[in-house]
Amino acid sequence: MKAEQPRHVGARIQRFEDIRLLSGLARYIDDIRLPNMLHLNFVRADIAHARIVGIDSSALADIGYPTWVFTGEHTAGLSMKAHQDYPEMQYSEQPLLAEGKVRFVGEPVAVVLAEDAYKAEDAAEHVMVEYDSLPVVGTMKQARDASLPPLFDGWTSNVIVQRQMKGGDLEAARTAAAHVIKRTYRTQRQAGVPMECRGVVAHYNPADRLLTVWSSTQMPHLVRTYIAEELNLPESRIRVVAPDVGGGFGIKGQVFGDEVLVAWLAMKTGRPVKWIEDRREHLVASLHARDHEHTLEAYVSADGRLLGLKADITVDNGAYSTFPFTAAGEPGMVGKVLPGPYDLKAYEATFRAVATNKCPIGTYRGVARPSAVFSQERLMDDIALELGMDPFELRLKNIVREFPYKNVLGFTYDEGSYAQSLEQMRGLLAKDIVDATASRASETTRIGVGFACFIEQTAHGTPDFTRRRVPIETGYIAARVEMSPDGEATIDLGLQNHGQGLETTMAQVAADALGILPENIYVRHGDTLTTPYSVGTWGSRGGPLGGGAVHIAATKLADKLRAIAAHLLQVKADQIELANGKASVRGNPGNHIEIRKLARAALRNVDQLPEGMTPGLEAHASLDGPRDGSYSNAVHAAVVEIDVTTGKMKLRRFVVVEDCGTILNPLVVDGQVRGGVVQGIGSAMFEHFIYDAECQPLTTNFADYLMPLAPEIPDIEVHHIETPTPLTPLGAKGLGEGGAIGPAAAIANAVANALGVGVISTPLNTNALWKLSQHIREAV
Amino acid sequence: MVVKGEPMRPASFEYHRATSLEHALELLSQFGDDGRPIAGGQSLVPMMNFRLARPGHLVDINKLPIAGIEVLGKTLRIGALTRHEAYFGNPLIARHFPAFLDAVHYIGHPTIRRNGSIGGSISHADPTAELPAVAVLHDADIVVRSTAGERRIPATEFFLSAYVTALEPGEMVVAVELPLPPETSTGSFIELGERSGDFATASVGITLEHDGSAVTKAAMVCSGADLFPIRAPEIEDFLAGQPLIDPKAKEAGQLFAESIDPVDDHIASADYRRGLIAQLTQRAITTACTRALGKK
């Protein structure tokens, strides 16, 4: 059924949820206080690799208040299992509390419960753990050194998984190439840093045998399923609630051992249990991201055609595989996306994840693509430099222009605006390119222009996960739309809103179908008791799949409204239009009935319904992603100004040209893009989680782990091209992550342009820039 | 090996509100090592949350009448409770202490400048904090009191190492006194950190006295070269007699950089710090000389 002419989709509506979020009315995990509640404090490993000799909590006997201590002995057998069913992948589990060994600083060893959070924290200081230290595996190189013992019994090495992807005839490409350009690129380890840390509260009510778990998560249904399976409980007796979540960015798009543990403790103790993660715990022991090394070898013709690409990809995964995307997820993603927006006929990628004594790596906004695009787009600039070509010309020569396009690995790209976005960006940067060239004479200040062109596979469907044999298993999103007798509607959404504006955009989508106003639609989410089973909010699927599911369900409901209206107005259903709260006869707007009267008829005055129609106004829809997803595209550009005498860099401009298909709400799209870009600037310039040689973390607070701050961020200019995809009901593609994907590459290219040097790694902080500027200082 | 936990909540402490300076000193004397005065809490509270500082008793001095900037004879006296934002727009600072005024712009962010106090910053002795450097540059006296009476400690002897000062248990900073420089003096202060408002990677402050065409006397302070702000006597000597128009600033920077042995850490390598300090020295001298020429 064709949608009504959009009225609300595409409108610049301010976010409804902001009234709550900006006025202190939001309720976060730490706001949940239950009577008789116990507070949990972790005792965490302060040594990276060791055998646990003993845990002594006897000092708590004299502390003067009641405490409860649990260790790995109590939770033995309970663990996080995150495995892809490849023969090449070595199996491991992460126990909820360390059993026998610790494998990274911050790993939970024991918990102390007490009647307030301060007491729990004081008491945790009295639990003494004796360790027998083991040598650490601290680097990718050490992890690939076969002489060092593996982190897990039964493993043959510290390479968790190594696989290959290929397509086309790489040997022929190599033979035909006039130029072979080989580079190794490195992106640093980061922490993902939502404003709100994580936290879990659990309560078991024996009266109805219901376990309720509140968690600051992006995926309540998956948390429910995992807890049910691990604790052997019926899923119908578990309710998982994600209250207001203060940012997730993928970091909260995992199931964590502490979610299972807090639930288990609530059942074990018979009292509500609460754990609120502090910032240090979050930085050290929640989840890290990036930490890639890519060696790329490009085979290029004399006139700049990219004939083939060979890639060797290593990700330092840390100690454990995480659920549900696993240790294979991050390097596999690089292998999959490196061909990018370019027409490439031969490709081979070898990718591996290695285990080290560090915090596990997981998904963080962009998921591997910020690193992949860094390498891909740095390589394109390095090729351009080697061939003496303009970087725009090189890309335009290789860019995919015909759609749908089947790439070298067999993935099909839907319609995009790759060449157009490059051309538009070139126009936007014309003056900056002149300024940059003029600055080459300066002994102190150099200006550079850099850009990055990329595509992003969004809204992946189930086949994508099946191919990867990844425990997430599927990617569909479900929604239920219901209208009450007063004509107001409710959407129960399988997505969880943690900043995406879904309470507004989903109402806009349903409003167009139902003919009522978005403000008359209440979007509920994040509670497994009220929302249909879904995989949660991650992977840039909210707009295309959540919006699509809402559209389908709302349209079903609208069909019923039209049928009732047709009956009452004595016309055919296809003559009815729903808009402005009214059902009107097309071409005869005077002949109409209010939608609230139709709702009343469907739910109360059911004698008014057509013969045989069942009462009720409720519709459900679930929508899986397209087989290969839908590909958004963007070009990001940075104009930088570097003081070569101090290494200080200023971002003069940051410009985005993006295409996410149909725009549901331009304010939300701009906000998502800008927020992502700020995080990408963090990746490019500031954020670096550092371990010393013994795998002791050095950046455990915000004085050492540097986030981008407002004064460092320029105005971020966002330009839109709208190429709707035929693959989702509204033509929308995903856009939540794209902002974070391009900045590292764009800024690095700008630095390379400004200084006339190769840039092979991030972060580009003052110290790094000072080193990269050395040749300019020495020439003075 | 003993696990210390991962604290983000302070260890338990007792809070006392001092009603007079005598009361505060009485309490601090009573608690000795276990007591700390608290004003804006901009440094002490984070340290307590990390449990790096675990005072058993906090003495709140916010109600004491020890804030203010005033001239007493030939010195400028700054009360310990003076908040950082008070220097902006203060005519005495603007007239006599251009390097000081430059430095204040680098202190944290507006909230920090609204709450933080000079007594707190001086007592905390962060290696690259601005006010300790300013005090050392200007040959300030740190005025401290305890129930035993008052001591005046030259700033150049007050800072002993990172976060370590000459304060004794029971003592509290009550004021910082800077000698008023002659009218024909000027100065400048420059620092660089990773982000605006960050702890500095390095900073350099300069004061100059001059005769209109040449430097007659100079002082220089540097943070980031050592664990506390240090003076640079050899550069001060080098600068005396240099013409204001071309004071050989670059040479001075290089000379100073060769004499120091800065720390190497995960934010900045020793090499970078040395190079940066050379550059900051050059710029601070150039700016001060430019200002000197503009004044006449």
A272/A304 same-domain check: no
CB A683 within 8 A of CB A740: yes
d(CA B17, CA A355): 53
The whole-number pLDDT of residue A184 equals 98
Q: Decide if B268 and A701 are in contact by the 8 Å CB cutoff.
A: no
Q: Token pair for residue A133? A: 């230290």
Least Cα separation, residue B188 to chain A (angstroms): 18
Residue B70 tokens read as 């005033």
Both A671 and A770 in one domain: the answer is yes
Q: What is the number of H-type helices and E-type strands within chain B?
A: 11, 14
Put simply, the answer to whether A118 touches B9 (Cβ < 8 Å) is yes
Mutate to test the interface with A, among B3, B47, B107, B201 (most CBs of A within 10 A): B3
Residues of chain B neighbouring A698 (CB-CB closer than 8 A): 266
Mean pLDDT of A439-458: 97
Collect all residues with Cβ–Cβ distance below 8 Å to A159 and sequence separation of at least 6: A90, A143, A144, A352, A353, A354, A355
Q: Is the pLDDT of residue A3 over 90?
A: no
Q: Which two tokens stand for residue B188?
A: 């400048």
Rounded Cα distance between A681 and A709, Å, is: 10
- By C-alpha distance, which of B284, B239, B282, B277 is closest to B259? B277
Residue A505 within a domain: yes
Largest CA distance in chain B: 65
Q: Provide mean pLDDT across the span A263-292.
A: 97
User: What is the assigned CATH class of domain B14-60?
Assistant: alpha beta
Which of chain B's residues have a Cβ under 8 Å away from the Cβ of A118? Answer: 9, 12
Q: Which residues contact B271 (CB under 8 A, 6 or more apart)?
A: none
A81 in any annotated domain: yes
The alpha carbon of residue A450 is apart from the nearest alpha carbon of chain B, in Å, by: 22
Read off the tokens for A355.
């285990």
Inter-CA distances, A363 with A507, A526, A582, A763, Å: 28, 20, 45, 19
Interface touch A280/B195, C-beta < 8 Å: no
At A310, list the tokens: 């060979």
- List CB contacts (< 8 A) between B276 and chain A: 646-647, 766, 770
Residues of chain B with Cβ-Cβ distance to A281 below 8 Å are 6, 8
One domain, residues A453 and A515 = no
Among candidate residues A227, A244, A276, the one where a domain is terminated: A276
Nearest to A277 by CA among A295, A303, A296, A252: A252
Predicted local distance difference test score (pLDDT) of residue A397? 98
Q: Determine, for residues A708 and B195 on separate chains, whether the beta-carbon distance falls below 8 Å.
A: yes
Same domain membership, residue A637 and residue A515: no
Domain span including residue A262? 32-134+198-276
Contacts of B280 in chain A (CB under 8 A): 646
Q: For residue A52, is pLDDT > 70?
A: yes
Q: List chain A residues with CB under 8 Å of B9.
A: 117-118, 121, 278
Q: What is the DSSP letter of A274?
A: E
pLDDT tens, position by position, A503-547: 999 999 999 999 999 999 999 999 999 999 999 999 999 999 999
CA distances from residue B106 to A98, B102, B134, B193 in whole angstroms, order as listed? 45, 7, 12, 9
Q: A680, A548, A685, A718: which is closest to A622 by C-alpha?
A: A548
Minimal-distance CA residue of chain A relative to B202: A646
Q: Domain for residue A340, yes or no?
A: yes
Beta bridge partners of B178: B76
Answer whether A47 sits within 8 Å of B194, measured CB to CB. Answer: no
Q: What's at A243, amino acid-wise?
A: P
User: Mean pLDDT throughout A336-362?
Assistant: 98
Q: Which of A646, A686, A688 sits opposite B279 (nearest CB)?
A: A646
A527, A239 Cβ separation under 8 angstroms: yes
Q: What pLDDT does B295 receive?
A: 54
Least confident of A87-91, A466-470, B69-73: A466-470
Note the pLDDT of residue B7: 55
Mean confidence (pLDDT) of chain A? 97
**Which range is least confidently modeled, A217-231, A232-246, A583-597, B282-296?**
B282-296
- Interchain pair A712, B1: CB under 8 A: no
- Report the C-alpha gap between A111 and A736 in whole angstroms: 36
A 10 A CB-CB count for A710 gives 10
In a domain, A530, yes or no: yes
Q: Contact A128/B194, CB-based, under 8 Å?
A: no
Which residues are registered as beta bridge partners of B154?
A: B141
Q: How many domains does chain A have?
A: 3
Let me know whether A223 and A312 are in one domain: no
Residues 6+ apart with CB under 8 A from A43: A55, A108, A109, A110, A111, A112, A124, A127, A129, B3, B5
CATH of residue A380: 3.30.365.10
My answer on whether A618 and A633 are in the same domain is: no
pLDDT of residue B9: 84
Residue of A nearest to B282 (CA): A645
Q: What are phi and psi of B249, to 5 degrees?
A: -65, -40
User: What is the side-by-side strand order in the sheet with A288-300?
Assistant: A159-167, A346-355, A306-318, A288-300, A179-191
Q: Could you say which of A45, A699, A706 has the minimum Cβ distance to residue B194?
A: A706
CB atoms within 10 A of CB A407: 24
User: Does any domain span residue A713?
Assistant: yes
Which residues in chain A are contacts of B196 at CB distance < 8 A?
709, 711-712
Dist CA B256 CA B232 (whole Å): 7
Q: Are residues A608 and A710 in the same domain?
A: no
Q: What is the rounded CA–CA span in Å between residue B75 and residue B55?
A: 34
| Chain segment A395-435, per-residue pLDDT in tens | 999 999 999 999 999 999 999 999 999 999 999 999 999 99
Q: B1, A131: Cβ pair inside 8 Å?
A: yes
Inter-chain touch B3–A43, beta carbons under 8 Å? yes
| Domain endpoint, select from A582, A600, A623 | A623
Regarding the domain delimited by B69-126+139-177, which CATH topology (the fold level of the hierarchy) does it fall under? 3.30.465
CA distance A46 to chain B (A): 6
In terms of domains, do A237 and A101 share one?
yes
- Indicate the residue among A220, A249, A276 that finishes a domain: A276
Nearest by CB: B276 against A284, A646, A703? A646
Residue of chain B whose alpha carbon sits nearest to that of A285 = B6
Asked if A704 and B3 come within 8 Å (Cβ–Cβ), the reply is no
Alpha-carbon gap: B239 to the closest alpha carbon of chain A (Å):
22
In terms of domains, do A427 and A491 share one? Answer: no
Rounded distance between C-alpha atoms, residue A277 and residue A386, angstroms: 49
Q: Band of the pLDDT at A5, cuts 50, 70, 90? A: low
Q: Grade residue A491 by pLDDT with cuts at 50, 70 and 90.
A: very high
Q: Using an 8 Å CB-CB cutoff, list chain A residues near B254.
A: none
| Together in a domain, A582 and A708 | no
Report chain B (296 residues): mean pLDDT per 10 consecutive residues. Answer: 53 96 98 97 93 95 97 97 97 97 96 97 97 98 98 98 97 98 96 94 97 97 97 98 97 98 94 98 98 79
**For chain B, percent of residues with pLDDT exceeding 90:** 94
Radius of gyration of chain B (CA): 20
Whether A403 is in a domain gets the answer yes
Residue A9 within any structural domain of the chain: no
pLDDT in tens, A628-648: 999 999 999 999 999 999 999
Nearest to B195 among A41, A130, A709 (CB): A709
Q: Are strands A68-71 and A648-659 parallel, antiparallel or unpaired?
A: unpaired
Contact B5 A648 (CB under 8 A): no
CATH number at residue A65: 3.90.1170.50
Query: What token pair was written down for A484?
Result: 């009450």
Chain A neighbors of B253, CB-CB under 8 A? none
Candidates A490, A662, A506, A525; CA nearest to A16 is A506
DSSP class per residue in A439-483: GGG-SSEEEEEEEEEEEEEES--HHHHHHHT-TT----EEEEEEE
- How does the average pLDDT of chain B come out, rounded? 95
Nearest CA in chain B to A763: B267
Tell me the chain A residues in contact with residue B1 when contact means C-beta distances shorter than 8 Å: 46-47, 50, 129-131, 133
Tokens 């493993």, located at residue: A155
| Candidate from B6, B11, B267 with C-beta closest to A42 | B6
Residue where the block lists tokens 């944290």: B108
> Using an 8 Å Cβ cutoff, are A396 and A425 in contact?
no
B185-291: which CATH topology? Answer: Enolase-like; domain 1 (3.30.390)
Contact B4 A46 (CB under 8 A): yes
**A653 and A771 fall within a common domain:** yes
Interface test with A, best of B1, B2, B6, B266 (most A CBs within 10 A): B6
Distance (Å, rounded) from C-alpha A56 to C-alpha A328? 37
CB contact (8 A) between residue A41 and residue B192: no
The reply to whether ipTM tops 0.85 is yes
Question: Would you list the domain boundaries of chain B?
Answer: 14-60, 69-126+139-177, 185-291
Q: To the nearest whole angstrom, how far is the Cα of A77 from the nearest Cα of chain B?
A: 24
Grade residue A6 by pLDDT with cuts at 50, 70 and 90. Answer: low
Q: How far lies A640's CA from each of A72, A99, A686, A765, A778, in Å?
A: 51, 50, 15, 13, 21
Which one, of A331, A335, A326, A334, lies nearest residue A362 by Cα?
Answer: A326
Q: Are residues A427 and A488 in the same domain?
A: no
